[in-house]
């Protein structure tokens, strides 16, 4: 079943390649949507795909063990998929 997540990620997640990391993780799982930096230092992710793959993406987005990325918290909201994206990209 398809779903949608809106995620706000806090921590040391800007200036460390986190958007590229999330993009690679999403593309590897066949997930569509986007990732973007926010002015307050957080990162936002909106993603759509199979719910099991979205859960896997959430787990991967913690970037456990990465020497530069340090995720402190992730606020995740589950929604109904709107199928508005083609592919996954970095929004500026």
| Active site residue ranges | 19, 37
Block residue for tokens 């402190």: 72
Rounded CA-CA distance 51/39 in Å is 29
Direct distance between the N- and C-terminal alpha carbons of the chain, in angstroms, rounded to an integer: 30
If residue 30 lies in a helix (H) or strand (E), which one and from where to where? none
> For the residues of 27-46, what is the DSSP string, one character each?
HHTT-EEEEEE-TTS-EEEE
Rounded CA-CA distance 87/34 in Å is 8
């Amino acid at each position: 079943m398809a779903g949608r997540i809106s995620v706000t990620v806090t921590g040391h997640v800007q200036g460390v390649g986190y958007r590229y990391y999330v993009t690679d993780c999403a593309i590897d799982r066949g997930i569509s949507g986007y990732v973007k930096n926010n002015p307050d230092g957080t990162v936002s992710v909106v993603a759509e795909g199979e719910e099991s793959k979205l859960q896997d993406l959430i787990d991967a987005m913690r970037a456990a063990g990465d020497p530069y990325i340090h995720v402190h918290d992730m606020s995740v909201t589950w929604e109904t998929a709107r199928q508005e994206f083609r592919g996954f990209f970095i929004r500026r």
